Amino acid sequence: MALLQISEPGLSPAPHQQRRAVGIDLGTTNSLVATVRNGHAECLPDEQGQVILPSVVRYLPDGSVQVGNLALQAQRTDPVNTISSAKRMIGRTLNDIQADDEIRYLPYKFGNDERIIHIHTRAGDITPIDVSAKILQVLQARAEESLGGELAGAVITVPAYFDDAQRQATKDAARLAGIHVLRLLNEPTAAAIAYGLDNASEGTFVVYDLGGGTFDVSVLALSRGLFEVKATNGNSALGGDDFDQRLFCWLLEHNSLSQLPAQDSALLQSLCREAKEKLTSQTTATITATLSTGLAISTTVSRETFQQLTQPLVVKTLEPVKQALRDAHVTKQDIKGVIMVGGATRMLHVQQAVATFFGQTPLNNLNPDEVVALGAAMQANVLAGNKNDDEWLLLDVTPLSLGLETYGGLVEKVIPRNSTLPTARAQEFTTFKDGQTAMMIHVVQGERELVSDCRSLAQFTLRGIPPMAAGAARIRVTFQVDADGLLSVSAREQTSGVQAHIEVKPSYGLDDTTITQMLKDSFANAQADAIERARTEAIVEAQSIIAAVEHALSLDADILTDKELSIIQAALAETSKQLQFGEAQTIRNAIHTLSQATDEFAAKRMNRNIQRALQGKNVTDIET
């Protein structure tokens, strides 16, 4: 994503008036909060002096909630009510995560709502948004305590690959926590800002981020004050935890242990983690424990042994690095600097491997687990208007194209990827049926040509179009993306002025009580809502498809053979029948059959249209 510096003179605060603004790194394993004081960015510690807050939330029997170290420790004894890895689930559906082994093997009981993940705990059904909100609340309280008053706002970081839904869900978590989000910022960009690269010369940089459970690599290009994420890659199942695991397996073998009770293996695993961390600064570490059988073990491991055991993991990170370079069309010789992010990059053999691969010493003089929070704090400081001289705002670009579904399940892109934010673009569409009074607007995100390969963001219907001849109505659809990369779409029929609007931003403009209430309501009515919504959506879709097919037949039925035509007509009849009596699933089945029956037809029509276009007739009328 690119970052653009623009001046914002109206935001200048009165001299000496500092607004309390923080940067928050909401991590999969650990979270941190940082601020800029006296021109210097620093992470804020808790009462015990710890800056790192484990991203773990436990719901206790007495109704209270623990966040951080206490929750992390309770994970062994109360796994079902102790939620970790919320970040892997936020903004995703059960369907999305079903194939994700990292989540599938967590001991949680998931509800079967299709739209949002629910985890059954003793405190009721909890969403990843709730869990993240608890973590944010603790960091907010810590910051307010330390800064002596209410926060004006926060910059919260998200992975560069987070899509719209994941970004929105993160924002919702912040709103639930009562935090004003100044903006969301990509993690690699935050790291680059922390290293001051935004003021540096031009060039291509790599951000190598090895955290607790995930590995992310990003290629950033900086030119004329503009950062662009050229490529991202990684491995969502590779992180510091895997190094603990290798050491743990070695320890078992070394002590001829097998089949340990869960309690013992959890104990040894956490001791292995400690040993791994010690081996970064010491050449040996000793693991001492008494198991539940009474067996006492004391094993010393050398750094050399540890490095040998885990070298394959280090090597494994280089594959995504190579892929990201290829995707960004750069070679390692083009890389001006490599930024190390994530606690696990402290390990010396990781540093070494990266240095050897790139042929240069990586940038590692900032704390790798703090660097994202520090960059976010610097950005928050600017956005809150605390920098008097040389004020600037950083703006992203859209990571993926945004567009509309058009006839035949094809995507018409309205905002191309990499457009600088905020941005707005309009495009005109027309009706395809005489007397058509409604139009379904289906907003999708992605680069592929077919709607089925893109991510569906929202659907709404523009109603009340005055009946006109097909092609006479002029429906202007406007896409707007704000500085956080969040989208709103409106449609307006130009001759009559009827309009409809949707914000792909469910919580925008609502106060926190309303959001809390909405989330509660959604739990209460989730099932009935989901059924009704699914049926309504299926009906809307079926209607629009029937109309589209009928219209297409009225124009181009002559390109079909009799057999093709009769198959389509049978599918049409079945869909119309389902429309009246069917349930969501049977309507969908009919739609599916109908769209399969018309695939070939759509392709033939496209060819015909292309030929028409080649003959000088316009098929689309694009306005920007």
Nearer to Mg ion by Cβ, of 56 and 491: the residue is 56
Among candidate residues 187, 241, 484, 574, the one labeled active-site is 187
DSSP-assigned letter for residue 252: H
Closest alpha carbon to 174 in 521, 523, 520, 510:
510
Nearer to Mg ion by Cβ, of 217 and 441: the residue is 217
- H-run or E-run covering 586: helix 584-614
Q: Is 58 in the site for ligand ADP (CB under 6 A)?
A: no
Query: What are the residue ranges of helices labelled H in 259-347?
Result: 262-278, 303-327
Identified binder of ligand ADP from the candidate list 91, 128, 188, 213, rule CB under 6 A? 213
Closest alpha carbon to 28 in 181, 234, 305, 279:
234
Nearer to ligand ADP by Cβ, of 1 and 313: the residue is 313
Question: By CB neighbour count within 10 A (0-12 exposed, 13-18 middle, 19+ buried), where does 82 fall?
Answer: buried
561-564: long-range pairs with CB below 8 Å, 24+: 564/600, 564/601
CB of 436 to ligand ADP, least distance (A): 51
Q: Is 27 in the site for Mg ion (CB under 5 A)?
A: yes
Residue 192 contacts residue 339 (beta carbons within 8 Å):
yes
HEC sequence for 468-485: CCCCCCCEEEEEEECCCC
Among candidate residues 46, 125, 172, 209, the one labeled active-site is 209
Choose among ligand ADP, Mg ion, none what residue 343 binds, the Cβ cut-off being 5 to 8 Å by kind: ligand ADP
Q: Is 211 in the site for Mg ion (CB under 5 A)?
A: yes
HEC sequence for 546-578: HHHHHHHHHHHHHHCCHHHHHHHHHHHHHHHHH
CB of 212 to ligand ADP, least distance (A): 4
DSSP character string of 364-397: -SS-TTTHHHHHHHHHHHHHTT---SS--EEE-B
Q: ∠ at Cα 391 (388, 393), nearest 5°?
A: 140
Rg over CA atoms, the chain: 27
Nearer to ligand ADP by Cβ, of 211 and 485: the residue is 211
Nearer to Mg ion by Cβ, of 287 and 340: the residue is 340
Distance in angstroms (rounded) separating the CA atoms of residues 3 and 198: 9
Distance of CA 261 to the CA centre of its chain: 37
Binding span for ligand ADP by CB under 6 A among 212-220, 300-308, 310-318, 542-550: 212-220
Output the residue with the shortest Cβ distance to ligand ADP.
240
- H-run or E-run covering 499: strand 499-504
Identified binder of ligand ADP from the candidate list 68, 91, 153, 211, rule CB under 6 A? 211
Q: Which residues contact 235 (CB under 8 A, 6 or more apart)?
A: 214, 215, 316, 317, 320
CB of 372 to Mg ion, least distance (A): 6
Binding span for Mg ion by CB under 5 A among 64-72, 191-199, 206-214, 380-388: 206-214
Among candidate residues 46, 87, 113, 369, the one labeled active-site is 87
- CB atoms < 10 A from the CB of 429, how many? 19
Nearer to ligand ADP by Cβ, of 185 and 475: the residue is 185
At 342, list the tokens.
Answer: 């994530």
Identified binder of ligand ADP from the candidate list 277, 391, 396, 484, rule CB under 6 A? 277
Torsion of CA 102, 104, 107, 111, to 10 degrees: 130
- Asked if 216 is an active-site residue, the reply is no
Number of residues that bind ligand ADP (CB under 6 A): 21
CB of 242 to ligand ADP, least distance (A): 9
Residues 315-354 interacting with ligand ADP (rule: CB under 6 A): 342-344, 346-347
Q: Is 343 in the site for Mg ion (CB under 5 A)?
A: no
Choose among Mg ion, ligand ADP, none what residue 212 binds, the Cβ cut-off being 5 to 8 Å by kind: ligand ADP
Identified binder of ligand ADP from the candidate list 142, 276, 413, 588, rule CB under 6 A? 276
Nearer to ligand ADP by Cβ, of 78 and 102: the residue is 102
Number of residues that bind Mg ion (CB under 5 A): 2
One-letter amino acid at 531 equals I
Choose among ligand ADP, Mg ion, none what residue 575 binds, the Cβ cut-off being 5 to 8 Å by kind: none
DSSP-assigned letter for residue 368: T
Identified binder of ligand ADP from the candidate list 23, 27, 128, 485, rule CB under 6 A? 27
DSSP character string of 421-453: SSEEEEEEE--SSTT---EEEEEEESSSSBGGG
Choose among Mg ion, ligand ADP, none what residue 240 binds, the Cβ cut-off being 5 to 8 Å by kind: ligand ADP
- Asked if 25 is an active-site residue, the reply is yes
Nearer to Mg ion by Cβ, of 208 and 248: the residue is 208
DSSP-assigned letter for residue 42: E
- Asked if 278 is an active-site residue, the reply is no
- Asked if 209 is an active-site residue, the reply is yes
Distance in angstroms (rounded) separating the CA atoms of residues 510 and 514: 6
Nearer to Mg ion by Cβ, of 211 and 362: the residue is 211
CB of 35 to ligand ADP, least distance (A): 19
Q: What residues does 41 pair with on adjacent strands?
A: 36
First to last CA, the chain: 21
**In the stretch 165-184, what mask flags binding to ligand ADP with x, by CB under 6 A?**
--------------------
Counting every residue, how long is the chain?
A: 624
Q: Is 368 in the site for Mg ion (CB under 5 A)?
A: no
Identified binder of ligand ADP from the candidate list 5, 29, 317, 488, rule CB under 6 A? 29
Q: Is 28 in the site for ligand ADP (CB under 6 A)?
A: yes
Among candidate residues 25, 242, 405, 493, the one labeled active-site is 25
Distance in angstroms (rounded) separating the CA atoms of residues 568 and 513: 51
CB of 278 to ligand ADP, least distance (A): 8
Nearer to ligand ADP by Cβ, of 277 and 405: the residue is 277
Q: Is 369 in the site for ligand ADP (CB under 6 A)?
A: yes
Residues found near Mg ion in the complex (CB under 5 A): 27, 211
Q: Which positions lie near ligand ADP, rule CB under 6 A?
A: 27-30, 211-214, 239-241, 273, 276-277, 280, 342-344, 346-347, 369
Query: Residues with catalytic annotation?
Result: 25, 87, 187, 209
